[in-house]
Structure 1
Amino acid sequence: MSQSFRTFLQVIVLWAAGLGAATQFAKIAVDFRGVAMLYPDQADSVGWLLSIISLMGVILGAVSGAIAAQVGPVRLLVCGLGLGGAVSLFQSTVPVFHLMLGSRIVEGVSHLAIVVAAPTLIAQITIGSARNAAMVLWSSFFGVAFALNAWFGVPLIARFGLPAYFVGHGLLMLCLAVLVAAFRPAVGSLTSECQRWGLKSVLRSHVETYQSPNVSAPAIGWFFYTLTFVSLLAILPGQLPASQSTWVASLMPLAGIVISWLAVPLLLTVLSSVTVVNLGFGAGLVAILFLVFGAPLHVVCIVLFAVLGLVQGGSFAAVPQLNESARDQALSYGAMAQMGNAGNLLGTPVLLTILWRWNEEGVFLAVAGFYAAAIAAHGFYSARRQQAGSSGP
């Protein structure tokens, strides 16, 4: 087996691990009504079964990057997949609500381990244009997983039930853990760069992460992306006529994936990753401006999510472009996990509040403000990198 083909297989396995991690969200979201029916006495609290993973990501995101740098991304990924598989099998027994909620907290730890370790490994085993293409592929894992779960998961749940679906997910995660161990990516040891684990090192890693314009820049931009992605996907279809809402809701994330796969690798051959990200945010502002000139809302929805594909692919590509060492990449992906979960946690309630008070015009005005802030933030961090004389745009 040639080295290039082996690397290709490793990237596919690592991407599949990302699909398994995203399914930790999707298995609850795609049939949320069915999940709620499992706990009819917990109607006021059942929503936590979906969002508790995001809460853990906010708390532990940057810490997971430090752990990946200390214990090694391969070991962390195998442990994350194994833990996720075991938790999903436990959930298939449909335990009482509070045990299920506790299992979701543990599953949040598994999710973080995967989404930090897998892209760190991809960035380490690929170079040049192959790395750009691999990072763009990785960036699509969330949207692809939700689409697959919607297309195939819902019919399977209808036929076999949620517990069987959880069993399938658990077995998939355990199989992926075996595959990662079998196709173990060869990366250098990071132990010489790490401090002994403890509270001080945790605090130090947070300070180091967010003081660095190279390590933190992708995460700050990612926060503004996730602040609007899930929330707009939940809100905008409801503002459309019933005849349009279903197919528009399906096309919105797919449009972003297609643009991310097709356009981002080409743009990265001539532009920096940060420029591609800002291009996506700027195009999003233009798409919103189209509404002022009377463009149909359903067209704006699809165009907006399409151009956000540039942010999606460019943000993950920015991590290895701005950070050379595996340790810094792990810290940066940890920060992306932390900021992404913060965005997911805050986005929907914030935009729903705006929608209730100022209607959809207020929502789009707020989104435009978020994207302008993202461009300004990337400009600020670019200026800091130039001032410090560090590599990267």
Structure 2
Amino acid sequence: MPSSSSHSAIVEPKTQWLEVILLWVAGVSAAMQFAKFSISFDTLLNHYQTSATLTGASLSAVGLVGLVFGVSAGMIASRVGYLKVLVGALLLGGVLSFIQSFLPPFNLLFITRMLEGLSQLGVVVAAPTLIAKLSAPQHRSLTMGIWGTFFGVAFAVCGWLGKRILDQQGLSTLFLSHGMLITTIGVVLFFILRKNPVLDLVPVAENQGGFFAQMIRIYRNPRALLPGFVFLFYTFTLVSVLTYVPGLTGDASQNKWMFVLLPLISTSGTFLAGAIAQYWMRPQRVALMAYVGLAISALVLSMLNDVPVLFGLVVCIMVLFLGMIPGSSLAMIPALARNPSEQAQGYGLLAQFGNLGATLGPPTFATALAAFGLSGLVVLVLCVCCFGIVFSLLAGRLNTVS
């Protein structure tokens, strides 16, 4: 193993930025599997004449697969090979988008959405593992911060360009455009990375016992588990804050710009966290700082309900701290993991816990808001911060892998 380390040091002197950016684009194209249905929700309702519940289920079906199979994906990727899983997942996503472009019967459309969940999961497990391997140690937290922006960027691009395609060309062209994008990036990555000498050194895990025995071992590994727990309370909170908080100001014009601005602020926070974790402090401390900042801004928010401008400003600060949490969580995984297999397991758990948080968070926040108003939301955010702080502190006790 020492000789492998020294060999790695020879062939990986610097960050391969082109490859890192292409892998990030792959992540953006995978996240568009969520975003394309989000922006076309009303159009889908009109075309298929189904209930909002069924159409909503087709939107969330992608995340449901990640909730169930997150850890399994990390195990499969470490055995089959990360590049194979990545390219296979992207090409599968392309085929499914092409099928959707024919606007098939709703039952078939729903099946394609379930399969897109496998595609999306393959990308979010394999791509960051490859990014970490293609990044020099002095840039790894920074590249993880860049990677962490893929979800917000996908929604921003779909909200701008995708909405224009939908309005001018229709649903079929929207899905066809996505199919062309995700297929193209899959083919490009295959030809660019298949002979990359750095990736030749990424070991594929050998058989380490039965499936369930491996799963138990992963869940008992704090290096893979704790970044996922830190991430869980972010996804539990973010969607709810972006959805419900702007409407609490009572100012219609302010609500409109907050819906546009807040996702961009969240994405900026993710990149900022990666930069801070790279140059100033360990990612565990960045997560701790983000949760403390979130708690303080939530307390301040509870006192400003009658001042719309200040309320909006504090919400922006709150979302900036929220956005820093995924950047620090993603940076934690390569910092703590002792090998690429452990990294893939960490990203699998991150996907699983992230989908769990996104599933449980909105109804919980909606209930708290309905029962107690703004104070209910603030108390819930403070509870979330308590858990986030505890898991950030526990992660901080682990030794960072150099």
Question: Is 1:158 matched up with 2:167?
Answer: yes
**Cα deviation, residue 52, structure 1:** 1.0
Which shows bigger deviation, 98-107 or 32-41?
Answer: 32-41
> Counterparts of 1:314 and 1:6 in 2: how far apart (Å)?
19
Structure-1 residue corresponding to 2:3: none
Q: Distance in 2 between matches of 1:359 and 1:225?
A: 21
Q: What is the match of residue 313 of structure 1?
A: 327
Alignment partner for residue 113 of structure 1, among 113, 116, 122?
Answer: 122
1:194 to 206, 219, 231: 206
| Matches for 1:165-244 after TM superposition, within 5 Å | 165-184=174-193, 185=196, 186-187=198-199, 188-191=201-204, 193-195=205-207, 201-240=210-249, 241-244=251-254
Q: What is the identity, as a one-letter code, of the residue corresponding to 2:283? A: S
**Counterpart for residue 342 of structure 2:** 328
2:276 counterpart of 1:266: yes
Please list the CA deviations of residues 242-265 of structure 1 after superposition, one character each: whole Å capped at 9, or x if unmatched.
Answer: 111111111112112223334541
Does the residue aligned with 1:194 lie in a helix, a strand or coil? coil
Deviation of 1:361 after TM superposition, in Å, equals 1.6
Deviation sequence 1:314-370 (CA, Å, 0-9, x none): 111110000130000000000001001111111111111211122122012101111
| Aligned-partner Cα distance in 1 for 2:96–2:168 | 23
Give 3-state SS (helix, strand or coil) of 1:41's partner. coil
Task: List per-residue Cα deviations over 1:302-324 (Å, max 9, x = no partner).
Answer: 11111223212111111000013
Equivalent in the alignment of 1:130: 139
Pairs within 5 Å for 1:1-393? 7-184=16-193, 185=196, 186-187=198-199, 188-191=201-204, 193-195=205-207, 201-240=210-249, 241-262=251-272, 264-294=274-304, 296-383=310-397, 385=398, 390-391=399-400
For residues 374 and 262 of structure 1, the distance between their equivalents in structure 2, rounded to whole angstroms, comes to 19
Determine if contact 1:63/1:205 at 8 Å carries over to the other structure.
Answer: no
- Conservation of the 8 A alpha-carbon contact between 1:213 and 1:382: no
When structure 1 is superposed on structure 2, of 38-47 and 322-331 the one drifting more is: 38-47
Provide the rounded CA distance (Å) in 2 between the counterparts of 1:391 and 1:157.
46
| Inter-partner Cα distance in structure 1 for 2:13 and 2:39 | 37
Q: Unaligned regions of 5+ residues in structure 2, if any?
A: 1-10
Cα distance per residue 1:92-124 (max 9 Å; x no partner): 111111111111000000000000000000011
Contact 2:97 2:178 in 1 (8 A): yes
Label 1:174 to 1:4 Cα distance change in 2 as closer, same or farther (>3 A).
Answer: farther
User: What secondary structure, in the 3-state scheme, does the structure 2 residue paired with 1:289 have?
Assistant: helix
2: CA distance, partners of 1:378 / 1:232: 21
Cα pair distance change 1:222/1:266, threshold 3 Å: closer
Write the distance in 2 (CA, Å) between the matches of 1:13 and 1:281. 31
Aligned length: 383
**1:62 and 1:205 in contact (8 A); partners too:** no
Partner Cα distance (1:344, 1:52) in 2: 12
Moved more, 53-62 or 256-265: 256-265
Report the aligned-residue RMSD: 2.0
CA distances 1:101-159 after superposition (whole Å, capped 9, x unpaired):
11100000000000000000001111223212211100000011111111111111100
* Cα deviation digits, residues 164-194 of structure 1 (max 9, x gap): 0100100111101111101114322433x32
> 2: distance between equivalents of 1:379 and 1:262?
20
- Tell me the distance in 1 between the aligned counterparts of 2:242 and 2:210: 38
CA distance, structure 2, for counterparts of residue 35 and residue 307 of structure 1: 34
CA distance in 1, matches of 2:273, 2:226: 22
**Kindly tell me: are residues 119 and 264 of structure 1, through their superposed partners in 2, closer, same or farther at Cα, counting changes over 3 Å?**
closer
TM-score (norm 1): 0.92
Contact 1:129–1:265 (CA under 8 A) maintained in structure 2: no
Q: Deviations over 1:254-301 (max 9, x none)?
A: 112223334541343221111101111111011111124436321222
Q: TM-score when scaled to structure 2?
A: 0.90
